[in-house]
Each structure stands twice: as structure tokens, then as C-alpha cells.
């Protein structure tokens, strides 16, 4: 599949391959938004603490969506070190509970519900919106704690584009190189846009303060990590796509798009002190994803419209397990080969005066297939999900908007296979019990438009998440008992959001929230001997607050600061700790302008400690890091950027035993036309 995805990427962007010209267009400011890819709740604005624009992404050099989403208060990132993939948490909820979307199209793996956000680059995005606690019912199922939508760009001019490239260096030399090409043309009724990006990472430099780690494996003392270059940290990502749109008039739009990712990545070994965490020698020789989708919107009459989406996704990965740190002999190769296809129909109309009613039908089919290379047998899971949703926005007065939504989700298990064995040898497959689920979601929001510069929103939302195929059917490498009887997790989400712009140079956004979660799927130990089982036994409460401020007192100075606090309480078992999310997070920057496109940025982030194991014995300590960035306009269309990331070479981790990069210097050259 890797070659097929790469071929489509190259063939899809012939204009891009030929582009090297530059002109006088300034960098993207986030205005070229593909609005058909947005999912909005009418009357409820996306505030500064819910959106990252392409301008933010570019000036702070956030190459992946993991890095970009981390700019927002209430959002935390960590690493699933054992798979070398990123993870985004929104107010304590992970990516199974806060799904990822691309132009409103769901992005996830059918088996476990996750998606590696480190594989998604930002070069083709116009904005990232993060709905926290309250999200439109039109997103579809599993939005227990919100939703993340990646919105691509759309060309506005007859010819426009950009070309960028650079490298990252450390004490050990050139660590990685990156480049991107983007081209767009808007001819009135027709438009086309294409992107092609690559990030080639050889390693990342560890902090000078990192000490070499030695462990005893099979009675032999082995150096797990010697410092300097992070061992087995290579990755290569090529991604891109093409979008073709037809706009016959000012209200209608029909778009066909392809987005593809072809990657391979290594998995650095665990360097911590937890004896229960195994030393694994892993590489993903394939991590490939292809997404084909269509979005259409037709205004039928007046305020009545019809919006349709259809998509077809392919995902393929190969995980190679090696016998030792030489990575010379493969002991097994595990393959996931998945397919997702689905679509939605949304009808919006004003049946009553000042009431915009939206009704939608969403359906998707998840197909998972897994096998070991060289094995005659494979097994798979298949399920169908149907959602019926309605959302009404009532403009009660110029000062009050009332939004009410309801959605019913149905999960139908079509197939759930398990291996049968003859001794230790696979001899065939059988079926798990097929247990269907359904869930009801409903929500209400009151949006008070206090004045032109003030808004107060209060909401309550009842949300759910279906168990994944992995939740229900995995043996967890022989440590667990499957549980096909799992039911959906449920949460009551409450929130109060306030925004005010007291002057032209200052805007403040603040939020209070609480989520009360029941039927949490959690581990119950010793169900059969020493084996555990996932069961709906958990109850939890997430409570917190966020505040952020944008400030520009003079033309040559701009600043941002954000703070978030969260307390996660395990009501069913207070002795178990929630992992991977710190209680406190602060991020801020100051930008000093010396010219229109010439500036210096001082950026910082503080995170308090976080638990890495549920018993609380192993933690990733708190840290503060600083970055310096500078951009110089070499001409009206060309600029150069240099950055020093982790300025003081802090040795830190967001997951215990998996150290983050030390000091790095980034050089980049950007041009636009």
C-alpha cells in the first residue's frame, strides 16, 4: 500500500512538482478556510482558546497537529512511547473520546479508536478547531469529551502557492529535514489545490543532562540508551493531497478530495525504572493511510440547504518485532489492514421564524483485518454505526441564542473473529458473541450576547462513547479476558464560557467545566487467576478551568498567555490515578516586530508533573521549556526563519522513560506566490 499511496500523492500534484516561482503574496493568515469542511454550532463562536489558525501554526513552527493543538489551554499532549505515537488530551479525555476529523470526515483506526496525530502535518491546514465538552451532535458518535476538526485550505486567487523547506540540527549534527509545496488556483466556478510534504527524521538529540541507561536483559548487562542521538528514533513521513471544487453559484459547492500519508517509523526503547515495562525492539516498516472524500452543499431555497458527505478510508501498517538491539533479525511481523467507508446527509431549514433546524443521518462501516506475515490464517472484526441527529438554533433575541441537540447512535456488530488453536498453533477462527449497542446524546446551550465585545455561554451535554473492538475482544498479549458485553461510556458535561474584549488591544476568554463520567471502561484485576478484564465499573469526575488572553498594546508587540487546571478524580477506585495529563499547564509567548514580516518570538511552556502509571509510582516530572524564534523578510515573497527549541537543553519527558528532545536549532526558508 505504501507504494500506491506515494504514487497517488505524486500523480495528484503535477502542478506542485513544477513550481519554483515566488511573488509578492504574504504568508497565509488563516483566511483561506475551506468552510465546507467546518462543523459549526450556530450562535456559539470559536474563541481564541478553541482554534489554532494557520498563521499561529506558521509563526510558531508547529509541524504536526500534536504540536499545534498543544497551543490551546485545556489541551495536553503526551506520547504513547511503546508505539512512538502522539496523543492529544482535551480536558482529560483522550482521542477515543475526542475524535479527530479532517474537514468533518472521521479519522481513526477501527480496532482501537486511536490515530497517531504525529503523522498528520499542518502544512495543508487553514485552521484546527477544538470543541471542548460541548460539540455539535452533527459530528456523529463517540464525542464523549468534544471533537478536533482539521480544516484544510481553499485557494482565493487565480494562482497562489508556497514553497518551504529546512532542517533541524543538534549537537550530533543534522537530525531531520523537511519540505512542503502547496499550489492553488481559483478560476471562479472551479478551484484546485494540492499539497505535498515530507519530514525525514534520522534521530533527535537528547539533552546533555541525559545519562546513559543500562539494564540486565537475559542476564546480560545491556546499554539501552547511550545518550547523544536518540537510538532507533528514525521516521519518514510523506503526505499530501489534492482537492477539486466546483462552485456554480455563491451558495453551492461540490468538492472531491484525496489525502494520503505514507510513513515508516522506529520505536525508541523504554529508558525508565519500571521493571514491569518490557524492553521492546520495534519498527513500523509501514504506516500508511489514504482518504478519499466528497463534500457537497446545495441551497434548495431561502434558508434551506442540503449537505452531503461521503468517504472511503484505507489504513495499513506493519509492526516488525526484532530479537535484540542490533535490529538484524525479525521475530514477527504483525499486519493491520483496515477499511472505513461511510457518509452523511444533513438538511438545514428555518421551519419557524428565527429557528434554524438541522437534521442529519450518519452511517459508517468499520472493517478490521489482522494477521502475521507468513501465517495462513487471519482474523477480523466488522461493525456498522448509524446515527440520527437533530440540532435547533433559536435566536430568541439579539441578546440570547438557545441551541438544543439530540442524537441517537446505533452500533451493530457484524463480525468478531477469534483464533482457534491446536496446541500453540493457529488452526482456524471462531466467533465471539455479537453484542449490539445504542446510546442517546442530548445537549442544551444558552449563548448570551451581552454586548458586541462580550459573550457568556452556559451548556449541559449528555455524551457517550462506544467500546472499541480492542476494548471488547483483545487478550492483551495473554494478560486479559475479552468482554463482548461492554456498553457505552457516558458523561454529563457542564460548562460556562465567558469572553470579553475590554479594549482593542486585549481579549480574554475564560471557562469553568466539569464532566461526570459513568460506566467508564477500566481494568478489573484477578477476574480469572491473575488475568484482568475490562468492565464498565468506573466512575470519575473531571473538574477544571481555563483562561487565555491575547494582547497587542502597540503595533510592534503582541502577546498571548494561557493557563489551564484540571482535577481528575476516580470515584470508583480512588487508589487508581489517571495518567498522562498534568494538573497545571501554562503556555505563553511575546512577539516583537521590527518590520511587517520580521520579528522575534520568545515562547515558553510549563507543565506540572503527571502520572505515567495508574498506581502513581511512576511519573513524568514537571518542566518548563523555552524557545526563541526569529523571522526575517528577505524580500516581499521570501523569508528565513531560525529557532532554538528547548533553549536551556532541559532533560524532560511527557511519558516516564521516554525522554523528549534536548536543544535543537531549526533553519527554514519560506517563499510564497
For 614, the domain range is 2-334+344-425+436-672
Residue 12 has pLDDT above 70, yes or no: no
pLDDT exceeds cutoff 50 at 20: no
Q: What is the mean pLDDT of residues 555-562?
A: 96
Per-residue confidence at 217, pLDDT binned at 50, 70, 90?
confident
∠ CA 464-468-470, nearest 5°, is 150
Share of the chain above pLDDT 70, in %: 94
Does 430 fall in a domain? no
> Mind listing the pLDDT tens digit for each residue in 295-325?
999 999 988 999 999 999 999 999 999 999 9
Q: Are 305 and 298 in contact (CB under 8 A)?
A: yes
C-alpha 341/C-alpha 108 separation (Å) is 12
Q: Is 664 a member of any domain?
A: yes
Mean predicted confidence (pLDDT) in 531-553: 95
User: What does the pLDDT read at residue 15?
Assistant: 34
Q: In the predicted model, what is the mean pLDDT of residues 597-602?
A: 95
Asked if pLDDT for residue 564 goes beyond 70, the answer is yes
**Residue ranges of E strands in 138-172:** 146-152, 160-170
Whether 80 maps to a domain, the answer reads: yes
Classify 580 as helix, strand or coil.
Answer: coil
By CB neighbour count within 10 A (0-12 exposed, 13-18 middle, 19+ buried), where does 484 fall? middle
Sign of the alpha-carbon dihedral angle for 281, 111, 582, 624: positive
Note the pLDDT of residue 606. 98
Return the pLDDT at 43: 61
Under the banding of pLDDT at 50, 70 and 90, the label for residue 16 is: very low
Consecutive H or E run containing 68: helix 65-69
Q: Which residue has the cell 487508581?
A: 576
d(CA 167, CA 177): 4
CA 190/CA 245 separation, integer angstroms? 6
Per-residue pLDDT reduced to its tens digit, 238-275: 999 999 999 999 999 999 999 999 999 999 999 999 98
pLDDT at 6 over 70: no
More confident residue, 18 or 162: 162
The string of DSSP letters for 336-381 reads: EEEEEEEEEEEEEE-SSTTEEEEEEEEEEEEEEEEEETT-S--EEE
**Count of C-beta atoms within a 10 Å radius of residue 323:** 12
Q: Where are the beta strands (DSSP E) in 452-583?
A: 454-465, 480-481, 489-503, 506-528, 531-554, 557-570
Phi, psi angle pair for 98, to nearest 5°: -130, 85
The pLDDT tens digits of the residues spanning 143-160 come to 999 999 999 999 999 999
Question: How high is the pLDDT of residue 410?
Answer: 98
In a domain, 518, yes or no: yes
Task: Report the candidate in 302, 394, 301, 399 with the shortest Cα–Cα distance to residue 353.
Answer: 394
| Residue 1 grid coordinates | 500500500
Band the pLDDT of 19: cuts 50, 70, 90: very low
Indicate the burial class of 494 (C-beta count within 10 angstroms; 0-12, 13-18, 19 or more). middle
Output the domain CATH number for residue 242: 2.40.170.20
Q: Is 137 left (phi over 0), alpha (psi -120 to 50) or beta?
A: alpha
Query: Residue 339 domain-assigned?
Result: no
Q: What is the pLDDT of residue 545?
A: 98
- Grid cell of 583 as nine digits: 494538573
User: Cell numbers 509501514 correspond to what residue?
Assistant: 286
Query: If you average pLDDT over residues 366-372, what whole number do you get?
Result: 96
Q: Is residue 442 part of a domain?
A: yes
Residues 661, 206: contact at Cβ < 8 Å? yes
Residue 220 in this model has a pLDDT that exceeds 90: no
pLDDT of 8 higher than 60: no
Q: Cβ neighbours of residue 529 under 8 Å, at least 6 residues apart?
A: none
* pLDDT number for residue 46: 56
Q: Which three cell numbers stand for residue 482?
A: 475479552
pLDDT digits (tens, 9 = 90+) for 29-51: 445 888 888 887 766 655 556 89
Q: What is the mean pLDDT of the chain?
A: 92
Quick one: average pLDDT of 408-417?
97
Contact 633, 64 (CB under 8 A): no
Classify residue 76 as exposed, middle or buried by CB count within 10 Å of its CB (0-12, 13-18, 19+).
Answer: buried
Task: For residue 4, give the H/E element and its range.
Answer: helix 2-12
Average pLDDT over residues 82-95: 95
Per-residue model confidence (pLDDT) at position 47: 57
pLDDT above 50 for 10: no
74 in a structural domain:
yes
Indicate the DSSP class of residue 229.
B
What's the rounded Cα separation, in Å, for the pair 558 and 339? 46
As a whole number, mean pLDDT of residues 623-647 equals: 96
In 398-488, beta strands by DSSP E? 400-422, 425-431, 437-451, 454-465, 480-481
Whole-number Å distance between alpha carbons of 507 and 15: 41
Q: What is the pLDDT of residue 523?
A: 87
Q: Where are the alpha helices (DSSP H) in 347-485?
A: 469-473
pLDDT of 154: 92
Nearest-5° Cα angle at 475, 110 to 327: 80
| Contact predicate 441/137, CB 8 Å | yes
Count how many domains the chain has.
Answer: 1
Asked if the model's pLDDT at residue 60 lies above 60, the reply is: yes
Tell me if 113 sits within 8 A of 468, measured CB to CB: yes
In tens, the pLDDT along 319-351 reads: 999 999 999 999 999 999 999 999 999 999 998
24 has a pLDDT exceeding 60 = no
- Compute CA 660 distance to the chain's CA centroid, rounded to the nearest angstrom: 19
Say if residue 13's pLDDT is above 80.
no
pLDDT band at 492 (very low <50, low <70, confident <90, very high): very high
What's CA 427's distance to the chain center, in Å? Answer: 39
In whole angstroms, give the CA distance from residue 52 to residue 46: 10
| Joined grid coordinates for residue 573 | 477506585
Q: Which three cell numbers stand for residue 97?
A: 473520546
The answer to whether residue 390 sits within a structural domain is yes
Over 50: is that where the pLDDT of 191 sits? yes
pLDDT in the model for residue 17: 32
Q: What pairing do the DSSP bridges indicate for beta strands 146-152 and 100-102?
A: parallel
Amino acid at each position: 500500500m505504501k507504494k500506491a499511496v506515494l504514487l497517488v500523492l505524486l500523480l495528484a500534484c503535477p502542478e506542485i512538482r513544477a513550481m519554483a516561482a515566488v511573488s509578492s503574496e504574504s504568508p497565509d493568515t488563516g483566511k483561506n478556510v475551506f468552510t465546507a469542511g467546518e462543523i459549526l454550532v450556530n450562535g456559539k463562536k470559536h474563541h481564541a482558546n478553541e482554534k489554532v489558525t494557520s498563521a499561529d501554526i506558521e509563526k510558531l513552527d508547529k509541524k504536526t497537529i500534536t504540536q499545534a493543538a498543544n497551543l490551546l489551554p485545556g489541551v495536553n499532549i503526551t506520547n504513547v512511547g511503546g508505539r512512538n505515537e502522539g496523543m492529544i488530551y482535551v480536558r482529560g479525555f483522550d482521542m477515543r473520546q475526542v475524535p479527530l476529523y479532517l474537514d468533518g470526515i472521521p479519522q481513526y483506526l477501527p480496532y482501537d479508536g486511536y490515530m497517531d496525530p504525529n503523522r498528520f502535518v499542518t502544512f495543508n491546514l487553514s485552521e484546527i478547531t477544538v470543541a471542548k465538552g460541548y460539540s455539535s451532535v452533527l459530528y456523529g458518535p463517540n464525542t464523549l469529551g468534544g471533537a478536533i476538526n482539521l480544516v484544510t485550505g481553499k485557494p482565493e486567487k487565480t494562482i497562489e502557492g508556497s514553497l518551504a523547506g529546512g532542517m533541524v540540527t543538534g549537537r550530533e549534527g543534522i537530525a531531520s529535514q523537511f519540505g512542503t509545496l502547496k499550489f492553488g488556483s481559483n478560476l471562479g466556478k472551479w478551484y484546485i489545490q494540492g499539497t505535498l510534504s515530507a519530514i525525514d527524521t534520522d534521530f533527535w538529540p537528547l539533552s546533555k543532562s541525559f545519562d546513559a541507561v543500562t539494564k540486565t536483559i537475559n542476564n546480560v548487562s545491556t546499554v539501552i540508551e547511550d545518550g547523544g542521538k536518540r537510538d532507533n528514533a528514525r521516521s519518514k513521513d510523506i503526505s499530501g493531497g489534492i482537492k477539486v471544487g466546483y462552485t456554480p453559484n455563491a451558495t453551492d459547492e461540490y468538492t472531491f478530495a484525496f489525502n494520503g500519508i505514507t510513513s515508516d517509523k522506529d520505536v525508541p526503547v523504554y529508558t525508565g525504572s519500571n521493571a514491569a515495562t518490557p524492553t521492546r525492539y520495534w519498527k513500523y516498516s509501514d504506516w500508511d493511510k489514504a482518504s478519499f472524500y466528497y463534500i457537497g452543499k446545495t441551497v434548495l431555497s431561502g434558508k434551506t440547504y442540503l449537505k452531503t458527505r461521503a468517504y472511503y478510508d484505507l489504513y495499513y501498517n506493519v509492526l516488525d518485532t526484532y530479537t535484540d538491539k542490533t535490529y538484524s533479525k525479525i521475530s514477527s511481523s504483525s499486519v493491520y489492514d483496515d477499511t472505513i467507508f461511510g457518509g452523511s446527509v444533513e438538511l438545514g431549514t428555518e421551519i419557524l421564524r428565527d429557528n434554524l433546524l438541522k437534521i442529519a443521518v450518519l452511517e459508517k462501516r468499520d472493517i478490521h483485518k489482522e494477521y502475521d506475515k507468513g501465517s495462513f490464517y487471519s482474523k477480523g472484526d466488522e461493525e456498522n454505526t448509524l446515527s440520527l441527529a437533530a440540532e435547533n438554533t433559536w435566536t430568541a433575541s439579539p441578546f440570547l441564542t438557545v441551541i438544543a441537540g439530540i442524537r441517537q447512535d446505533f452500533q451493530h456488530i457484524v463480525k468478531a473473529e477469534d483464533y482457534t488453536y491446536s496446541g500453540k498453533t493457529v488452526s482456524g477462527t471462531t466467533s465471539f458473541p455479537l453484542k449490539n449497542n445504542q446510546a442517546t446524546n442530548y445537549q442544551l446551550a444558552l449563548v448570551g450576547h451581552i454586548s458586541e465585545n462580550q459573550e457568556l455561554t452556559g451548556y449541559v451535554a449528555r455524551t457517550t462513547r462506544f467500546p472499541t473492538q480492542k476494548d471488547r475482544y483483545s487478550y492483551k498479549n495473554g494478560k486479559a479476558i475479552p468482554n463482548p458485553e461492554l456498553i457505552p461510556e457516558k458523561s454529563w458535561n457542564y460548562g460556562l464560557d465567558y469572553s470579553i474584549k475590554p479594549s482593542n488591544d486585549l481579549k480574554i476568554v475564560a471557562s469553568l467545566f466539569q464532566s461526570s463520567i459513568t460506566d467508564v471502561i477500566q481494568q478489573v484485576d484477578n477476574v480469572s487467576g491473575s488475568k484482568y478484564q475490562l468492565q464498565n465499573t468506573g466512575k470519575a469526575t473531571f473538574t477544571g478551568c481555563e483562561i487565555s488572553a491575547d494582547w497587542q498594546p502597540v503595533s510592534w508587540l503582541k502577546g498571548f498567555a494561557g493557563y489551564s487546571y484540571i482535577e481528575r478524580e476516580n470515584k470508583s477506585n480512588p487508589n487508581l490515578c489517571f495518567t498522562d495529563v498534568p494538573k497545571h499547564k501554562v503556555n505563553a509567548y511575546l512577539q516583537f516586530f521590527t518590520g511587517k514580516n520580521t520579528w522575534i518570538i520568545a515562547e515558553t511552556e510549563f507543565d506540572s508533573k503527571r502520572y505515567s502509571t495508574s498506581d502513581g509510582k511512576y511519573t513524568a516530572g514537571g518542566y518548563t521549556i523555552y524557545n526563541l524564534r526569529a523571522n526575517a523578510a528577505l524580500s516581499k515573497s521570501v523569508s528565513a526563519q531560525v529557532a532554538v527549541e528547548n533553549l536551556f537543553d532541559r532533560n524532560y519527558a511527557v511519558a516516564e522513560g521516554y525522554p523528549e528532545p534536548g536543544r535543537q536549532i531549526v533553519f527554514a526558508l519560506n517563499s510564497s506566490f
